[in-house]
Structure 1
Amino acid sequence: MSEKKNVLVAGANGSTGRIIIDLLKKSEKYQPIAMVRKPEQKKQFEKENVSAVLADLEEDLNHAVKGAYKVIFAAGSGGKKVIEVDQKGAKRFTDASKNAEVEKFVMLSSMGADNPGISEELGDYLRAKGNADDYLQNSGLAYTIVRPGALTDEDGSGKIQLKEKLDKQESISRANVARTLVEVLDDDVKQNRIFEILDGETPIEKAVRD
């Protein structure tokens, strides 16, 4: 059996990030490294036998990404620091990933990132996400950008609908989003593509490969 490859998860302590870490722990191919901001979060992950690294998206990230094979950006400011975290933080993470020559960058984006005008309330956030997505696309890194609808805390069904544009406003469970992000780490999956996802009827592993 080949050695498991390191996947660095930015936003590991968030609601979606924690599910991603759990999925990677069970993976036969990958092992997670949790990127967190606070020493107590690092200790908590290490207690759970997960490697963790301290880093802040508002500062230099090169040390954090060293040694990562692939990365998942699942961090978010929760609307508090959209420019500093959701936009500039994602760009910093992209630059550090490029410097570390990571094999693939998986970005958790959002439906509407390509059309921030659809929501007055979320406009600034969607603009920040769109700018971060554009930056990643132009970075030269292999990437997959995943844009889910509104997130819920429902149990994951393991089934989604996936298209470049779904043209409807519906929701998707965080569990299904996390599974999609882990599934698209593989090299045979929608490389250098952007797509939207909602809860649906197609098994995730099939949806991301069709």
Structure 2
Amino acid sequence: MSNPHNIIWHDSSISKEARRKQNNHSSFVLWFTGLSGSGKSTVANALAQVLFDQEIRNYVLDGDNIRNGLNRDLSFSDKDRNENIRRISEVSKLFVDNGTVVLTAFISPFIQDREMAKKIVSEEEFIEIFVSCPIEECEKRDPKGLYNKARKGEIPDFTGIDSPYEEPVSPALTIHTTEQNVSECVESILHYLKKRKLI
């Protein structure tokens, strides 16, 4: 194993500010958090399309997709959930440095893990969006059939069933997917970003 004292950060010849200037927009992370089935990926991808149509460079980092590749070696234990969020936070930071708007769709159930993500990315460039949806509704939707499996004991440590979900205390924005349709959720987020002059 290499000695961390022999690892030296190399600054890029192109600054984050220069990349943002070329892209003609700011870069930041929209961190969607909520229960499985709440609508995180659906809203994130719908928003991504709108941003793309407005020529705002963006990329969606989806929980399932990341666990199919970068984080496929991780389980759903608390320790591995923490490492899952740490890795994706570091990846998100690189995207932001590249001048890209990042939309992450992760359950990220623990407050301390989301706080860690915010510190890694930087507080000014981290926007926490709570996708609020009662677990009863998430179970009704159950698009992947996960709640059904969890209730049968086939999926251990499932968030909302036998592992807790800690709601954000003061998210930048809360969207209610039982009260707002996808388009309305997207409009709420766009309004917030325009108000902050990020787009």
TM score, norm. by length of structure 1: 0.45
Please identify which structure carries the higher strand content.
1
Asked which structure has the greater CA Rg, the reply is 2
Please identify which structure carries the higher helix content.
2
Bigger relative CO (Cα 8 Å, ≥ 6 apart): 2
TM score, norm. by length of structure 2: 0.47
